[in-house]
Amino acid sequence: MTETAAEVFDAIGKDYETAFPDQHGRQAVLEWLLGRLSPGATIADLGSGTGRPVAETLAAAGHDVTGYDVSAKMVEIARAQVPAARFEQADLRTLTQPAGSRDVVTAFFSLLQMTRAEIDAVVAKVATWLVPGGWFVLGTVAVDADGVETSFLGHPIRSSSYPAGTFVARLEDAGLAVGYRELVRYESSHPAVRPEDQLYLAARRPS
């Protein structure tokens, strides 16, 4: 029997940071993004985890950041660690936002713990939340899987994603234009983390 994302991440909590340190691809796309933003950009970080480093980095640069996460424990940790951002407990699959309300939406490794149909639905609604010219920045693992049972830091969970080219096509299907694409091999020194191909994409809503 698999566990839900809320159950898994409530149990992992801050250990996530020590299991997945030094994600250079994530840092690179964050720096690329920061170079393109006007001061005070409105940013939604989907699946904000512990708040570090994504919400913390964006808020420290002066942007207006709200993180959303289904795990009550992660929200509690993020609120304590990153007082410069807001954090709310919410399931991305049911989360709503006003159309055209965000300059940027980020989602790092938070669209993995759902089905492909749910990934597609989240991408489609994120595209409507962006202002014209706004960016959706995504980090994920590029793998051909739909609801595959796997072990994440010792927890049984179902996971889905797409190979890189298919993910690009999904963003384009949602009306976004991809302006950043990097595939990075990531290896953690944590014994329970296997090497993985991390995919980083940034896609823009046309002006």
Ligand X SMILES: C[S@@+](CC[C@H](N)C(=O)[O-])C[C@H]1O[C@@H](n2cnc3c(N)ncnc32)[C@H](O)[C@@H]1O
Q: How far is the CB of 123 from ligand X (least distance, A)?
A: 13
Nearest residue (CB) to ligand X, 108 versus 203: 108
Q: Which of 44, 74, 174, 203 binds ligand X (CB under 6 A)?
A: 74
Nearest residue (CB) to ligand X, 90 versus 132: 90
Q: How many residues bind ligand X (CB under 6 A)?
A: 19
Segment contacting ligand X by CB under 6 A, of 30-38, 41-49, 126-134, 169-177? 41-49
Q: Which of 33, 49, 126, 202 binds ligand X (CB under 6 A)?
A: 49
By CB under 6 A, is residue 134 in contact with ligand X?
no
Are the beta carbons of 95 and 68 closer than 8 angstroms? Answer: yes
In the region spanning residues 109 to 128, those forming contacts with ligand X, defined by CB under 6 A, are 109-110, 113-114
By CB under 6 A, is residue 33 in contact with ligand X?
no
Measured distance CA(89)–CA(72) in Å, rounded: 6
Segment contacting ligand X by CB under 6 A, of 36-44, 86-94, 169-177, 195-203? 86-94
By CB under 6 A, is residue 47 in contact with ligand X?
yes
Amino acid, res. 204: R
By CB under 6 A, is residue 25 in contact with ligand X?
no
Nearest residue (CB) to ligand X, 29 versus 130: 29
Segment contacting ligand X by CB under 6 A, of 90-98, 161-169, 170-178, 193-201? 90-98
